[in-house]
Structure 1
Amino acid sequence: MPARRPPALADLPPMKTFVTHRVTPPQRSNAAIAQDFLDLAFQMESGRSLPYMTRFEGPITVRVTGPAPASLEPDLAALLVRLRREAGIGIRRVAADAPASITIEFLPRSQLQRLVPQAACFVAPRVSSWEDYRQSRRSGEVDWTTLPVRERVAIFIPGDVSPQEVRDCLHEELAQAIGPLNDLYRLPDSVFNDDNFHTVLTGFDMLILRAYYAPELHNGTTRDEAARALPRLLARLNPRGERIGGGDLMSPTPRVWIDAIETALGPGTAPSQRVAAARSAVEIARTQGWRDTRLAFSLFAFGRLALGQNNGETSLAAFLEAGQIYAAHPVTRVQSAHVAMHIAAFALSAGQPDTAVLIIDDHLDDVQNGENAALLASMLLMKAEALDMLGWHREAAAIRRDALGWARYGFGSEDEVRERMAEIAWLNPAQSD
C-alpha cells in the first residue's frame, strides 16, 4: 500500500447524492426509435421472440420487502416521481404488507447468486417473493413468453452492495418489470443496453416507456400491429423526432458478436480467453463495417482486458480509437468519459499530471449529468493525485475530500474506497518507485 493511507470510514465526509436529474431528449429520428421499440418489446435478451406485448393494466403499485439499505428511500422515491412525470405511468408505493403489482425484495448477494450466479439483480413474472421464485424457477410460471398480462412481478436486489449499485438495479429492473424485456447493444443513450454505461433511465428510456403505455397499444398487441401504430404514436409523443432525418437506422447485431462480448466480460473465463474474445469482437465489428458504439465498445472492452495482461501500448491504442468514435457524437459523452478516465490514468502514470487534469476536467460535467458516483469519485481522486504531483497540495486535498463523498455512494464500503484510492495513488510514478 502507498504511504498515504486512506482515512477510516468514520472520518470520511458525508455521502454525496444526486439531487437533480438532467433530462436529455432522444437525438434520433422517430423512424429509428420505432425500430428500437419493436426490437426491445418483442424479443428477450436470450434472443427468444415474444408473440405479443404485455403490460400492467391500471395503476401500478410497488412494495419493498427484506432488509433494504437506507439509501433506497430517496432513490426509489425519485425514480417513481420520474416515471410519473416523464413516462406518464401511474405508479406509487404501498406498504410492505399490502398486495402490490411489483414486489422489490432485498436479500444478501450470496443468497441471490447461489440460485442465479451471473445476475447482479433480476426480475421475474408471476411471483411476489424469493420463496415463490425458488419454488417456481424451473417451471413455466416464470416464463415471460407465456404471460398474457402482467399482474404480479418481483424484483430481487442484493441489499449488501453499494448505494449506487442498488439504485442502478432499481432503474434497470423496474423499467423491465413494467416495460420492454430486451437489451440492445446498439443503443447509445439507454439503460436498455448491456454495456452498462448508462446507469439511470434516460430521456430515450422514458419515451420508450411512455409509448409502451400509450392507449394505441395494449396487452396482446403483435409486432406487426405495433409497427403500424408507432409512426403516428411517436409523432404525437416526440414531435422533434419527426424533424430528424431517418438515415440513422442501424444494422442488426449478430449473435456471434454478442457471444464474443459476453465471453470477454462474463465471469468464469480465463484471462487469456477473455482477451481473445474481446479481440474477436473487435474483428467482427470491423468486418460488419461498424463505426458506431458497438465497435467503440469492442475496443473499450479489449483495451481494459489487454491492460490486465500488461499490454499497455495495445490497450492505449484501443482506448484512443474508442474515444475518437465516442467523441464524434454528442449523445455518447458518458461513454467518452469512461474512456477518458483510462487515458488520463495513462497520462498520470507517464508523469504527465497536467495532461491528466485537462482530460478529466473536460468530462466531469458529463459524468455528473450521467449520475455515476463511482466514476466521478475515481476521476476526482485521479485529479487530486495529479494536483499533488504538480505541487498544488491544498487544492488536491479539497478535491480528494469531495471525491470521498461521492465514493461513499459509488463504492459503499470502506474497503472498496480504500482499494480504489490505493489503485489511483499507485499511478503516481513517485509512489511506485
Structure 2
Amino acid sequence: MVLTACNPSQFNEMPERRDANSQSHSALPPMAQFSTRAARATTRSNTAIAQDILDLSFMMESGRPITHLSRFEGPITVTVAPGAPASLGPDLDRLLNRLRREARIDITRVAPGGETSASITIETLPRSRMQRVVPKAACFVVPRQSSWDEFRHSRNSQSLDWTTLTTRERVAVFIPSDVAPQEIRDCLHEEIGQAIGPLNDLYRLSDSVFNDDNFNAVLTGFDMLVLRVYNNSDWRSGMTRAQAAATLPGLLSRLNPRGNYPGRGTTDHSPRAWISAIETALGRNTSGPRRIGAARMALSLAQSRGWQDNRLAFSYFALGRLTLVRDPELSLASFLTAGRIYSRIAPGGIQEAHVNMQLAAFALSSGQADQALALTGAAMPAATRAENASLLATLLMIRAEALDLSGRPSEARAVRLDSLRWGRYGFGRTEAVRARMTEVAALSPDA
C-alpha cells in the first residue's frame, strides 16, 4: 500500500489509514516558504530548443495551428482584483522579480482600478464557481478580458479565440481562491507564462511547465529562455512560423551561448491518440478499470513509436499510479522502469523525485527503513529545487516514519515537525496536512 503522486489533482485510491501520532493533532508550526532563486539554465542544444519554441508558439494545445504570433508589445502591467488570498501577493512578486531578472521582461505590478486597464488582470474566485463554467480547468487564462464578468458574457464569442489575435492588449487569469498556497502559486506560473508567452504544451519536454504532466510547477530555466525569446525585440506580433524560425539561430546563439553545440530537435509530435489515452488515464470522472486500460494504451502507443523520452517514462509512471491498489507488483515494476528512464533523460530531476517518493512508500510499507531513508534523501534536493512543498512534506513524513522504525524517535520528531511546516504551504488547510500525515503513518508496518 503506497501513496499516490503529490499533485493535488492526482490523489486517488488511498489504502485504509490509522490515526497519526499525537503530534499531528497539536497546533501546526508556521508555514514554510521558498526563497526566490534563479532556475538552473537549460543544457540542451539550441537546435533542439528552436524546434521546441516553434512548436510551443505556433500551435494550440488542441492541435490547431497558430498562423501568426501574438504577444504584448511594450511594458506589461499586472494587477490583482480585490479579495485574493494572502499568499498570492508575495508569490506573484517573486514571480515578477524572476521574469525581470531571468527573462529580461519589462513587467510590473500595478494597483487595481487604475485609469487604464492592466495588461494582465488576476482574479480569484471559489473553485466550484469556476468549474461551473469551465468544468475541467484548475485555472486558466483568456484573451481580451479583464474580469470574470467580462469573461462570462463573452465565453461563447470569437473574442476568446487566441488564434484571432495579432497583438495582446488585455488578458485575464482566473485562479481558485480556496486551494492550497502551492496550487495558487503553480497557477500563477503557468497562466502568466502563457499570458506573456506560448500557448501550447508539449508532453515531450522534461524541463518545462509547458507540459501537461504537471511535474514542473514553477518556471524553469528553459521556460525563462523561451519567454526571453518570445518577448525579445527580434520577434514581433504578426510573425509567421517561417519568419520566427529564421530569427532563432542567431537569437538563441546570442541569448544562450552554452547551447551552441551540435544537436538536433525532434519532429515526432505526440499523436492525438496518445494524448487522449493519457487524459483518460488521469481523468477524475472515469472508472478505475477504464483508466488503467487507457494507461496501458498510452504505454503501448509510446512503445510502438519507439519513444525513449519523457512520454515513455510518463506512460509508465501513469500506469504505476493507477495500479497501486489493484496490482502492486505491476505498479512497482512500472515505477522502477519510469525511474530508470527519468534518471537517464533528467538525472536528479523532479520526475525522479516523484518516482523515489513512490518507491520510498513501498519500502516503508515493507519495513525497509534504510531503503526508505535513502530514497527520500535522494529525492529531497530535487523537490526543494522544484519548489514542490507538497512533495517535500510527504518525503519528510515518510522519512519520519522510517526513522521511528529505525529506533530514532528524536530525529523522527524533528523531521516530522519540518514536514508540517512545508505541508501548510503544500496542502493548505490544517485538515489536509493532518490527513496526509495519517496516510503516511498508515504505511508503516508498526501502524
User: What's the TM-score, normalizing by structure 2?
Assistant: 0.94
SS in 1 for 2:324: helix
1:286 aligns with 2:303: yes
In the alignment, what sits opposite 1:269? 286
In structure 2, distance between residues paired with 1:265 and 1:144: 26
Deviation at 1:9, TM superposition (A): 7.4
Identity of aligned pairs, percent? Answer: 57
In structure 2, distance between residues paired with 1:360 and 1:423: 17
In structure 2, distance between residues paired with 1:160 and 1:170: 15
In structure 1, distance between residues paired with 2:168 and 2:72: 5
In the alignment, what sits opposite 1:316? 332
> 1:361-372 counterparts in 2 under 5 A?
361-372=377-388
1:71 aligns with 2:87: yes
Amino acid at match of 1:284: L
1:92 aligns with 2:125: no
Among candidates 6, 9, 13, match of residue 29 of structure 2: 13
Q: 2:309, 2:345 within 8 Å by CA — same for their partners in 1?
A: no
In structure 2, distance between residues paired with 1:133 and 1:140: 12
Greater Cα shift, 357-366 or 164-173 = 357-366
Gaps of 5+ in 1: none
1:297 aligns with 2:336: no
Taking structure 1 as reference, are residues 256 and 350 closer, same or farther at Cα in structure 2, changes over 3 Å only? same
In the alignment, what sits opposite 1:44? 60
In structure 2, distance between residues paired with 1:277 and 1:330: 25
Q: 1:384, 1:396 within 8 Å by CA — same for their partners in 2?
A: yes
Deviation at 1:215, TM superposition (A): 1.4
In the alignment, what sits opposite 2:218? 200
Q: 1:188, 1:332 within 8 Å by CA — same for their partners in 2?
A: no
In the alignment, what sits opposite 1:113? 131
> 1:30-429 counterparts in 2 under 5 A?
30-98=46-114, 99-243=117-261, 245-247=262-264, 249=266, 251-308=268-325, 310-330=326-346, 333-429=349-445
Deviation at 1:4, TM superposition (A): 3.5
Q: 1:2, 1:425 within 8 Å by CA — same for their partners in 2?
A: yes
Deviation at 1:10, TM superposition (A): 6.9
RMSD value, Cα: 1.3
In structure 2, distance between residues paired with 1:52 and 1:248: 22
Amino acid at match of 1:345: A
User: What's the TM-score, normalizing by structure 1?
Assistant: 0.97
For 1:67-115, what per-residue CA distance to the aligned partner results, in whole angstroms no more than 9, with x for missing partners? 2111112111010011011111100011111220110001011100110
In structure 1, distance between residues paired with 2:232 and 2:38: 24
Deviation at 1:298, TM superposition (A): 0.4
Amino acid at match of 1:312: P
Deviation at 1:247, TM superposition (A): 3.8
In the alignment, what sits opposite 2:6? none
Deviation at 1:390, TM superposition (A): 0.8
Gaps of 5+ in 2: 1-16
Deviation at 1:251, TM superposition (A): 2.1
Q: 2:380, 2:392 within 8 Å by CA — same for their partners in 1?
A: yes
Amino acid at match of 1:147: L
In structure 2, distance between residues paired with 1:331 and 1:127: 41
For 1:139-197, what per-residue CA distance to the aligned partner results, in whole angstroms no more than 9, with x for missing partners? 10111011121001000000110000000000000000111000000011000000000
In structure 2, distance between residues paired with 1:247 and 1:53: 24
Taking structure 1 as reference, are residues 322 and 157 closer, same or farther at Cα in structure 2, changes over 3 Å only? same
For 1:176-225, what per-residue CA distance to the aligned partner results, in whole angstroms no more than 9, with x for missing partners? 01110000000110000000000100000000000001111100000011
Amino acid at match of 1:270: S
In structure 1, distance between residues paired with 2:64 and 2:297: 24
Amino acid at match of 1:181: L
Q: 1:125, 1:150 within 8 Å by CA — same for their partners in 2?
A: yes
Taking structure 1 as reference, are residues 331 and 188 closer, same or farther at Cα in structure 2, changes over 3 Å only? farther
In the alignment, what sits opposite 2:14? none
In structure 2, distance between residues paired with 1:8 and 1:263: 36
Taking structure 1 as reference, are residues 51 and 273 closer, same or farther at Cα in structure 2, changes over 3 Å only? same
Count of matched residue pairs: 429
SS in 1 for 2:239: coil
In structure 2, distance between residues paired with 1:291 and 1:370: 23
Amino acid at match of 1:400: R
SS in 1 for 2:260: helix
